[in-house]
Amino acid sequence: MNILDKIVADKRIEVDLRKSLIPIKQLEHSVLFERETVSLANKLRLSQSGIIAEHKRRSPSKSIINQNLNVFDVAEGYEAAGVCGISVLTDGKYFGGSLDDLLTARASCNLPLLRKEFIINPYQIAEAKAYGADVILLIASILTKNELKLFSELAKSLHLEVLLEVHNEEELHKSIMPSVDMLGVNNRNLKTFEVSLEISKKLSQLIPNDFVKVSESGISTVESIKELQAFGYQGFLIGENFMKTDNAGESAKQFIKALEK
């Protein structure tokens, strides 16, 4: 069993537990459920830098990245730095995140928020909306084409945008559908955790231009972003690079400055 299979198996148990505690009707009555969402896709289209900055405490590949930064400061710092959106990891067991992190980020900034999660059940999409997300992540490698369609259409009906993540040509072909806003190419193989930007370059010409192209993982230099922009990418998801410093917002600010020179 690879790490991704393990995460998904644990996630099924976790979601069943959550559903038994907080019924979907209760989520629909939350204050944030009626909130008007902000478009990340539009922000990326209009941006020079296209940075989606991440709040991430740890990961299966790097174990601890940073346990000391609190979400409030990070979200505020990212907003001041001029990022386009914030990705908030809500998985507890493997990434040290929580839905409370999403709630705190929502309270501390007006940026579009992506719920970064292993979504395997429609319940998690209602949860994302109830906790203040604007965008959900769907991972092609863990969902069938039918699930991708159902989940993305449900998200759209809740006015949430969809970032659909692929890792190879086969996943990309099952992911191209009108209910998706952004197509993300993950440069990290989720089975082996190896990283290569060549994956983004290779898949770029296969992604139709009506989707905002986002490159994810392993992006740590201004040069790599400029390289990827030449392949039509408008969004860049950066986590570890900012989070491993003492001041994530400040390091994002310096990075964007250098990028916009």
Provide the annotated active-site residues: 54, 56, 116, 165, 186, 216-217
Integer Cα distance of 40 and 143 in angstroms: 23
Closest CA to 79 of 111, 45, 37: 111
Question: What's the DSSP call for residue 159?
Answer: T
CA distances from 183 to 116, 125, 162, 168, 250 (A): 14, 18, 8, 12, 28
CA atoms within 13 A of residue 33's CA, in its CB half-sphere? 13
Q: What are phi and psi of 28, to 5 degrees?
A: -65, -20
Q: Are 193 and 61 in contact (CB under 8 A)?
A: yes
Q: Are 237 and 52 in contact (CB under 8 A)?
A: yes
Integer Cα distance of 173 and 94 in angstroms: 29
- Residue 45: helix, strand or coil by DSSP? helix
What residue has token string 């979504």?
A: 119
- Beta-bridge partner residues of 36: none
